[in-house]
A = this chain, B = another copy of it.
Amino acid sequence: MAELEEVSSAKCFGGYQKIFKHKSAELGSEANFSVYIPPIFTQNETFPVLYWLSGLTCTEKNFIEKSGFQQYASQHKVVVVGPDTSPRGLNIEGEEDSWDFGTGAGYYVDAITEKWKNYRMYSYVTKELPTLVQQNFPVDPTRQSIFGHSMGGHGALICFLKNPGMFKSVSALAPIANMSMSPWGMRAFTAYLGPDKEAWKEYDATELVRKQAGKGGEIPEILIDQGTEDEWFKDGKAYLLPEHFVDAAKEAGVPVKLRMQEGYGHNYYFVSTFIRDHFEHHAKHLTK
């Protein structure tokens, strides 16, 4: 069993909001992650687990402090796990220079360039972390789902689409839905994956959903919320591009519900307003 150190623990809505750290093999650095454990009433009870992926600049703390999700995790009896958003402290030249690249901006890919070889958030999130969680917490590994915000919405969509059967459901709030076409994605993918755009397609939600043509019937409806006043979306800003994802999904026959939320921004006030709906979306698949 990998060694976990408890960093903090606080009672919240009858359960416990905890943060742990461990030495990550994938990232070659220490990594923090959060775990919410709902109230436990029965010995040996196991819970479904919902993975939350955060956006640019976030650590494992933003979601647990700002979204108010614990109310719904407690109510639906779901364990919620939230990793950090990149390796930290690797002393890679330039890793601290930008808020949207390097530290806090792992984009949930496995980098293939030598310089960023430790940036393996994709394998961390889909392999190392779930194994660690299954070994250490009362979760049922057959009931897992994933969701996220912004860069983390991108992460949730690609982790779901690349691993059929691993997650029961997926949802996203203001996801970067077409990384290859987003200024954020173009910069990060060039650095982490190199200039060959074929490699980018493996981590681009719009490209991945395109490949599901004919398999849509097996995929549960994908829920996406997008605020109309989101500063990365409104006035033709092309950072998020949820419409590209929706078009590709429809073409491929993959069910997707995009809800335009009038007047909402890109912030945690938006996330906190709709997080209840996302728990209800996942609970349909996780708790029966």
Contacts and interface: CB of A to CB of B under 8 A. Distances in A.
A66 interface: yes
Nearest to A13: B273
Nearest to A9: B265
A116 interface: no
A269 B68 contact: no
Copies in the complex: 2
Contacts of A191: none
B10 A272 contact: no
A70 interface: yes
Given A11-B229, A65-B65, A70 B272 contact: yes
A68 B272 contact: yes
Contacts of A229: 11
A231 to B, nearest CB: 11
Interface in A186-232: 227, 229
A270 interface: yes
Contacts of A227: 11
A11 B65 contact: no
B269 A10 contact: yes
A71 interface: yes
A13 B273 CA distance: 5
Nearest to A14: B273
27 contacts: A10-B264, A10-B265, A10-B269, A10-B270, A11-B227, A11-B263, A11-B264, A11-B269, A11-B270, A11-B273, A12-B269, A12-B272, A12-B273, A13-B272, A13-B273, A17-B269, A65-B65, A65-B66, A65-B268, A66-B66, A68-B68, A68-B71, A68-B272, A70-B269, A70-B272, A70-B273, A71-B272
